[in-house]
């Protein structure tokens, strides 16, 4: 079922479009769908809103690749919203053990609209800018854009997302995400509740197969990734083949404390790559993300 929580919880889901854990902007690469807000929630409010957010994650995985290079990260965000549908965000990301302090920046614009009780759409464009001194270590600058359709079947909520990556090599991605949202009764003067949103996400994209005279291996084509650089002996003849297929399956359980002006969410996810690459092994196993969002006005 679609989320229908507090203002702060709704904006946290939008922030997590820009700061992915197991998803792309999960739709990022998109991780979560902007929620429906009842008319009673927004009556008397200004069309303009402003938020601050921060968080910590064990590994930032985006479009099938670890863009934090399997390192923990922290982030801070500022978000502007207009009319509960259009949002702009700017985020700075710090990676543990790397200098300068801010490793890369994320700018994003997203729009969402609910047509009725069972159908909604969202779209976004996200720009990742890495510090020049870290471009060889992390990734090259890239832009990602997506269009997502949401279908509420009552028992489950399905998102179909088609996205395009624009960098040194353009790529197309497709995601299918099924989730089941539920929450506890409201407490603390009916201003707070706890919500759960377990999900399963399938990521489809371009997979590259490299064939030599002695071995064959596969690797995903990820954001800002120079995939032709392999640790092969000098003079080795290699044939590269590209095909579209299932890149990754993600399982996650976000748990959030939702209030009127603040939401705190913890998510544990398991990432299962669908390829086997000894040179660029995929990130596999559990990851963790803790995020908070605060409404300033």
pLDDT digits (tens, 9 = 90+) for 165-176: 988 778 899 999
pLDDT on residue 171: 87
Model confidence at 124, pLDDT cuts 50, 70, 90, reads very high
Residue 2 located in a structural domain: no
Residue 127 located in a structural domain: yes
Residue with tokens 């949103």: 197
Q: What is the pTM of this model?
A: 0.81
How many angstroms separate the CA atoms of 23 and 232, rounded? 31
Residue 28 located in a structural domain: yes
**Per-residue CA distances from 244 to 27, 176, 297 (Å):** 18, 15, 45
Residue 93 located in a structural domain: yes
More confident residue, 217 or 245: 245
CA R_g for the chain: 19
- Residues ≥6 apart with Cβ < 8 Å to 113: 85, 120, 121, 122
Residue 150 located in a structural domain: yes
Specify the number of domains making up the chain: 1
Left, alpha or beta for 235 (phi > 0: left; psi -120 to 50: alpha)?
Answer: left
CATH code where residue 77 lies: 2.40.160.40
pLDDT on residue 280: 53
pLDDT on residue 225: 59
Among 39-48, 79-88, 105-114, 244-253, which is the least confidently predicted range? 39-48
How many angstroms separate the CA atoms of 63 and 79, rounded? 23
Largest CA distance in the chain: 71
Average pLDDT over residues 234-261: 83
φ/ψ of 173, rounded to 5, equals -135, 150
Residue 1 located in a structural domain: no
> Given a cut of 60, is residue 14 above it in pLDDT?
no
Distance of CA 179 to the CA centre of its chain: 15
Average pLDDT over residues 211-227: 66
Asked whether the beta carbons of 287 and 224 are under 8 A apart, the reply is no
Model confidence at 140, pLDDT cuts 50, 70, 90, reads confident
pLDDT on residue 175: 95
pLDDT, tens only, 29-62: 223 333 333 333 444 467 888 999 999 999 998 8
Most confident of 41-55, 112-126, 186-200, 206-220: 112-126
- Which range marks the domain in which residue 197 is found? 7-295
């Amino acid at each position: 079922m679609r989320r229908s929580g507090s203002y702060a919880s709704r904006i946290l889901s939008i922030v997590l479009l820009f700061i992915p854990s197991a998803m792309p902007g999960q739709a990022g690469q998109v991780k979560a769908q902007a929620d429906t807000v009842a008319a009673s929630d927004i009556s008397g409010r200004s069309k303009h809103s402003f938020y601050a957010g921060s968080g910590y994650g064990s590994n930032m995985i985006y479009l099938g690749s670890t863009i934090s290079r399997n390192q923990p990260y922290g982030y801070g965000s500022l978000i502007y919203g207009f009319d509960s549908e259009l949002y702009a965000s700017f985020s700075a990301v710090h990676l543990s053990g790397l200098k300068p302090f801010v490793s890369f920046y994320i700018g994003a614009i997203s729009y969402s609209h609910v047509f009725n009780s069972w159908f909604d759409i969202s779209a976004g464009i996200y720009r990742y800018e890495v510090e020049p001194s870290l471009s060889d270590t992390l990734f090259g600058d890239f832009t990602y854009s997506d269009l997502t359709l949401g279908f509420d079947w009552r028992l489950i909520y399905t998102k179909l997302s088609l996205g395009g990556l624009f960098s040194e090599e353009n790529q197309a991605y497709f995601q299918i995400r099924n989730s089941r949202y539920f929450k506890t009764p409201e407490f603390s003067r009916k201003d707070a509740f706890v919500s759960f949103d377990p999900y399963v996400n399938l990521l489809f994209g371009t997979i590259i197969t490299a064939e030599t005279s002695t071995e064959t291996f596969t690797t995903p084509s990820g954001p800002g990734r120079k995939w032709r650089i392999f640790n092969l002996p000098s003079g080795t003849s290699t044939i590269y083949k590209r095909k579209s297929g299932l890149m990754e399956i993600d399982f996650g359980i976000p748990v959030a404390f939702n209030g009127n002006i603040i939401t705190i969410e913890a998510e544990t996810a398991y990432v299962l790559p669908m390829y086997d690459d000894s040179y660029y092994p995929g990130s596999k196993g559990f990851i963790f993300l803790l995020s908070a969002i605060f409404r300033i006005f």
